[in-house]
Amino acid sequence: MAITEEKIAQVQTNSPLEKQYSQMGKYAVLSAKFPANDNIAQTYTVYYPQNAGNYPLVVMVNGSGTPVSRYEAVLKHLASYGFVVIGDENGTAWSGATSSKTLDFALAQNKDSNSVLFNKINPNKIGTSGHSQGGVGVVNLATNQPNGHLIRSIYGASTTKYGLAMGLKWPYDVSLINVPYMMIAGGHESDAGDGKDYNKGIAPIMSLQENYAKVAAPALMAQRKDVDHGGMLWQPNGYMVAWFLYTLNGDNQAKQVFVGQNAEIKKNANWQNVQSKGLN
């Protein structure tokens, strides 16, 4: 079933900020596609606010066999909150290498007076978001690529557990992360397994806890109840928006989702096993 803005907006929640950020934002959005001149990336797809302005950039890192053209509604939704969002067509993105080139392309367009992205991007406010294999890719983009130091915030959904990733020869090291990192996974058995056996599920709670313990940077971990592995690409999109508004823009309302004893995510019935550290 195709991912649409309407599906994201209809995510069921009784928590006001999750509901608010699941709707489309106030910015009118345009999109553009650029040839990548690269057989792996193929095409760069960008969504961006129509209004003039200098916006944060978010680089999308794809899950297995899931080019960005299959989830453009996710990009459009995020862009409607005042972000430039870019992705490519690579379906094996674990290393972050292609996404590193995608980041370089976006920043080059920002300097090109003939580009629709000219002066659209604030190069000091760059985040990265990835799902599944892409959750491995965001870690490697930030920690293992030459431009990784430009990344200021990381969001990883259903990141392939470390043991499975190593078996697939997708190594990653979350202990190298030095920027705020949101790590989430689904509570459905496709992600969570039975909650007892590390070998079951793509991103079980033990995997989240294992990665969370290794991270010295500010971090948040949580499970979205009952959501399956594929659904994690779009169902938590409201809180992805909030995460980047908070960590890249210092937005005080979005901060209320994550920070303090009364953080909305800690009280939200859609979420469980919420832990955070270093967030302020």
State the CATH number of the domain containing residue 257: 3.40.50.1820
Query: Does 280 fall in a domain?
Result: no
| Mean of the per-residue pLDDT values of the chain | 97
Residue 225: band (very low, low, confident or very high) from pLDDT cuts 50, 70, 90: very high
Residue 1: band (very low, low, confident or very high) from pLDDT cuts 50, 70, 90: low
The confidence score (pLDDT) of residue 2 equals: 86
Judge whether 244 and 155 are in contact, CB under 8 Å: yes
Neighbours of 118 (CB within 10 A): 12
For residue 273, pLDDT over 80 is answered with yes
Average pLDDT over residues 262-268: 97
Query: Does 27 fall in a domain?
Result: yes
Q: For residue 178, give the 3-state DSSP assignment.
A: coil
- The verdict on pTM exceeding 0.75 is yes
Express each pLDDT in 21-62 by its tens digit.
999 999 999 999 999 999 999 999 999 999 999 999 999 999
Express each pLDDT in 93-145 by its tens digit.
999 999 999 999 999 999 999 999 999 999 999 999 999 999 999 999 999 99
- Torsion angles phi and psi, residue 34, rounded to 5: -125, 135
Pick the closest to residue 154 from 131, 180, 125 (CA basis): 180
Structural domain including 251 reads: 5-275
How many angstroms separate the Cα of 198 from the Cα of each of 119, 137, 215?
A: 46, 21, 19
**Domains: count for the chain:** 1
Judge whether 9 and 22 are in contact, CB under 8 Å: yes
Express each pLDDT in 155-186 by its tens digit.
999 999 999 999 999 999 999 999 999 999 99
Non-local (6+) Cβ contacts of 169 within 8 A are none
Query: Does 9 fall in a domain?
Result: yes
Judge whether 78 and 240 are in contact, CB under 8 Å: yes
Parallel, antiparallel, or unpaired for β 84-87 and 55-61? parallel
Which contiguous run of DSSP H or E holds residue 100?
helix 97-110
Average pLDDT over residues 186-209: 96
- Torsion angles phi and psi, residue 133, rounded to 5: -55, -35
Q: What percent of the chain has pLDDT over 70?
A: 100
Query: Does 49 fall in a domain?
Result: yes
Query: Does 264 fall in a domain?
Result: yes
